[in-house]
Amino acid sequence: MCTPKVMEYVQAQISRRDFMRMGGSVVAGTALLGANQAQAQTRQKGFVYRNLVDLSHVLNPGFPLFPGGEPMTSNTLVTVEKDGYYLSRVSYGEHSGTHMDAPAHFIKGGTTAEKLPLENFIVPLAVCDISEKAAKNPDAEVTIDDLVAWEKQYGRLLPNSFVMMNSGWAARASDPKAFLNADAGGTMHFPGFSPAASEFLVTSRQISGIGVDTLSLDFGAASAFKTHVNVLGAGKYGLENVANLGNVPARGATLIVGIPRFENASGGPARVMAAVP
Ligand SMILES: [Zn+2]
């Protein structure tokens, strides 16, 4: 959407040379934006970005799965060669690949994915990088201290921010064994958000949700899903198995989330991207 008014405003804000250099970048207007304050500010400024980063892994039958999950299958039904068109039947558990956890995933009567408000799907992105400590300790968690340190460096979280953990774990996604990282007793070891940090975010900050580059919002060794319950119980949503978080800034990008609109969905595979200014 490039309304003349938005284009006029944006052109006035940046030099003609910069504008030409932006080339194929898109200047988006009002249609994408919701009612909250942060988005109203975005609308005033115009939605300008220089590049898009894909934060989704490609989902295939070999993608790592949380124990008990339903493996993906794909069967070709018709081909262009034989039938003139190509079509497959695909089956998967809702929590496969890069995917959303809707409140209903853990909360009885919670909002299902297709009913989540659209203004939660285009929001400020905050990335909390704990890759250094996660490289030494696979049980590392995003703590309140990490969030306080983030705000000290980058400023208070904007209203409706979506907070992602970058633990460096996405690099293991092609190797299910390394991604689950289970010990001899079957306990998994991968990073997540601590229950206290998730509680802080839903009670002391206005967030739209949290995301991780691992299989679960709670760390792998958790015996209970406290972070899930904190976040989904507050009506927020989660994203798991997110990719490429090392390629986006800690602050300043806009998260864009798209998910098929299936009825009564507890979540589902999502296309997730970041628009980097
Ligand atoms: Zn999930």
pLDDT > 80? residue 197: yes
SS3 114: helix
pLDDT value of position 42: 54
Which comes out higher in pLDDT, residue 12 or 235?
Answer: 235
- Of 57, 99, 105, 228, which is the active-site residue? 105
Q: What is the pLDDT of residues 44-94, one digit of tens each?
A: 567 789 999 999 999 999 999 999 999 999 999 999 999 999 999 999 999
SS3 173: coil
pLDDT > 50? residue 12: no
Percent of the chain with pLDDT over 90: 83
pLDDT > 60? residue 41: no
Centroid of ligand 1 to alpha carbon of 215 (angstroms) = 7
Centroid of ligand 1 to alpha carbon of 51 (angstroms) = 28
pLDDT value of position 48: 84
- The domains of the chain are located at 4-48, 54-65+92-276
- Tell me the pLDDT of the chain averaged across its residues: 89
CA dist 159 → 42, 117, 201, 208 (Å)? 12, 15, 11, 8
Does residue 228 carry a catalytic annotation? no
Identify residue 30 by its one-letter amino acid code: T
Q: How far apart are CA 165 and CA 252, in angstroms?
A: 15
Centroid of ligand 1 to alpha carbon of 99 (angstroms) = 6
Q: By mean pLDDT, which of 4-8, 79-83, 253-257 is the weakest?
A: 4-8
Type and span of the H or E element at 54: strand 51-54
Q: Which candidate, 58, 64, 90, places its Cα nearest to that of 77?
A: 90
SS3 62: coil
Which comes out higher in pLDDT, residue 3 or 219?
Answer: 219
Q: By mean pLDDT, which of 23-27, 169-173, 263-267 is the weakest?
A: 23-27
pLDDT value of position 156: 98
Average pLDDT over residues 234-242: 98
- Give me the CATH code for the 54-65+92-276 domain, please: 3.50.30.50
Identify residue 154 by its one-letter amino acid code: Y
pLDDT value of position 47: 77
pLDDT > 50? residue 32: no
pLDDT > 50? residue 20: no
Q: How far apart are CA 47 and CA 169, in angstroms?
A: 31
Centroid of ligand 1 to alpha carbon of 267 (angstroms) = 7
How many distinct helices (H) and strands (E) make up the chain?
Answer: 9, 15
- 207-212/237-240 β-pairing: parallel
- 271-276/251-258 β-pairing: antiparallel
Q: What is the pLDDT of residues 131-148, one digit of tens each?
A: 999 999 999 999 999 999
pLDDT > 60? residue 186: yes
